[in-house]
Amino acid sequence: MSDRFPYNVESSKAMLWLLQEKAPALGLNKHNVRFNRPIFRPTGEEPGLTYIEVHHLDTGREYDFAYTRLDLGVALGEIVELTVESPVTTAEVVEAINEKYEMQLGQEDVAPYGYGPVYVGNNPWTFKLKANPSSFVWYGEVWVRVNKDTTIPNNVRLMEDGQPRLLEDGDFRLMEG
């Protein structure tokens, strides 16, 4: 019996997979199970130790399980190098990580997760991506170095000095039409 999650599956599906492996006799499936929020209780010997209460909707019973979450920094390495198109958002960074590492991180896994521009500063830009405390699978953090794709499109508006005109979020201002 493994105490490890598959990397290439969404968190809720991975959690169900682990429970089905740990307790096959319960007959848990996506239609008859509800999870409470995981309780993270790391120790020196088990840094990812987590407890979760599982509700079996068919029987009305509740079960407590202990399992080990995966450390985002260990899974991805010391620093993640990515190139993304602008504007840079957390959602776009997560999508690039998923593509590069064949993972299925989602909005329940990282915080904050969003579609609003987060790029500030110079290129490349380094920031810390943190696991959401309510993630079923992940804990910890990883440094991400984002290289913003600065290829200038043909239809960009130019300033008087010939430099491309930028929007507030650092994206290129394009010509209409």
SS3 state of residue 63: strand
Could you tell me if residue 118 is inside a domain?
A: yes
Least confident of 2-11, 84-93, 114-123, 126-135: 114-123
Q: Which of 71, 87, 108 is the last residue of a domain?
A: 71
Task: Please provide residue 75's backbone torsions phi and psi, each rounded to the nearest 5 degrees.
Answer: -65, -40
Does residue 50 belong to any structural domain of this protein? Answer: yes
pLDDT tens string 10-22: 999 999 999 999 9
CA nearest neighbour of 68 among 18, 8, 110: 18
* 8 A C-beta contact, residue 126 and residue 143: yes
Please tell me whether residues 61 and 81 are part of one structural domain: no
Q: Same domain, yes or no, for 44 and 95?
A: no
Query: For residue 135, is it within any domain?
Result: yes
> Which residues span the domain enclosing 76?
72-148
Please count the structural domains in the chain.
2
Rounded to the nearest 5 percent, the helix, strand and coil shares of the chain are 20, 30, 50
pLDDT tens digits, 85-119: 766 788 888 999 999 999 999 989 998 777 666 66
Q: Does residue 133 sit within a domain?
A: yes
- Asked if residue 138 and residue 91 are part of one domain, the reply reads yes
Distance (Å) of CA 27 to CA 23, 51, 53, 68, 174: 8, 20, 16, 22, 55
pTM for this predicted structure: 0.77
* pLDDT of 65 over the 60 cut: yes
Is 5 inside a domain boundary? no
The verdict on 95 and 58 lying in the same domain is no
Same domain (yes/no): 62, 81: no
Do 33 and 87 fall within a single domain?
A: no
